[in-house]
Amino acid sequence: MDTLSDILKITLPALIVFFTAWALLRNMIKNDQDKRRQELILQNSRTVTPIKLQAYERIVLFLERISLESLLVRVSTHDMTAPQLHSALLNAIRSEFEHNLSQQIYMSQQAWAVVKNARSNMIKIINSEVEKLPPDSTGLLLSKRLLEKIMDLDIEPTRAAIDYVKNEVSGII
pTM metric for this prediction: 0.74
Q: Which residues of 41-76 are buried (b: 16+ CB within 10 A; e: fewer)?
A: eeeeeeeeeeebeebbebbbebbebbbbeebbeebb
Distance CA 67, CA 168 (A): 20
Sorted by sequence, the CB contacts under 8 Å of residue 100 that are 6+ apart come out as 58, 59, 62
Per residue of the chain (173 residues), what is the pLDDT tens digit? 678 788 888 888 888 989 999 999 999 999 999 899 888 878 777 777 888 899 999 999 999 999 999 999 999 888 999 999 999 999 999 999 999 999 999 899 999 999 999 999 999 999 999 999 998 899 999 999 999 999 998 899 999 999 999 999 888 77
